[in-house]
Amino acid sequence: MGDVLYFNGRFTTTAERIVSVEDRGFQFGDGVYEVFKFVGKRPVFLLDHFRRMDRGLREIDIPNPWNEASFSQTMSKLLERTSFADGVVYIQVTRGEGERTHFYPDGMQPTAVAYSRRFVFPDASRKERGIRLITAPDLRWKQCQIKSINLLPNALAKKKAQRAGADEALLVEEGTVREGASASFFVVRAGKIITHPLDEHILPGVVRDRVIGLAISAKIRVDERPLRETELFQLDEAFITSTTMGVMPVTEIDDRVIGNSRRGEVTAELQRLFDDLESQERSA
């Protein structure tokens, strides 16, 4: 039996093959996606993910099949049908099905898909040990603020990292560090956090935004500015954030040790604050 699957208003499982060969998501990568985490069948930051998806759909002129209330209701029903307690839900909305042509007609009916999937989140040991990164050229399109299903450059960068024995690729464009292939990126210097500003070069990460808010509340200075690749040699700490990884220390970049190759104090504090915030969210 496959995982629970929502498809255009009905529930089935991922064992059923349902997407048309002429769906524009399949043919053109014409759509957006979201991923949210659930623990004990309780979603984490659900409406944050909905609002980001809604912004992305509006930017590429696809009608959102849900509003906040119907989205929450659909995801609640999906989790009720899910047989396991912890995991992620993947959501994808495409422009819909139609004759394969670049000139898509107005008024297309979007295809909406969501399914649950088991996921083992990092344990305390992993969150202390951290991960290794490599740098890779940023080959993505020029609207990275949209969570597009066009992920070929990201997938190629991730595979390059895997082949190098690393966990993630850090995307660099003309000497400027952008973000990870599937994560936001932060560095710490002299107790201050530096991360790329929100613009068309990076995705507005749900966890990224929450962590910045936590840092500011904890009186940790946050400088949102472009980071030069040469600055990677001068770091006290580095970490990534994502839905599945939370706050994860970075101990090496391109085989260069960051700090003392151990989780730094600022990173550890933000991990603690974020874990507390997630717990509050699930119990609300």
Give the residue numbers marked as catalytic. 147
Q: Whose structure tokens read 């139609």?
A: 98
The rounded distance, in Å, linking the Cα atoms of 275 and 279 is 6
Please tell me the chain's helix, strand, coil percentages from 3-state DSSP, rounded to the nearest 5: 30, 30, 40
How many DSSP H helices and E strands does the chain contain?
7, 16
At residue 61's C-alpha, the angle toward residues 57 and 65, to 5°, is 55
Handedness of CA 194, 218, 39, 63 (dihedral sign): negative
Cα 56 versus chain centre, distance: 14
φ and ψ of 167, to 5 deg: -100, -20
φ and ψ of 273, to 5 deg: -65, -40
The rounded distance, in Å, linking the Cα atoms of 220 and 106 is 48
40: closest CA among 283, 232, 202, 269?
283
β-sheet bridge partners, residue 31: 94
Q: State whether residue 168 is helix, strand or coil.
A: strand
Handedness of CA 269, 234, 203, 239 (dihedral sign): negative
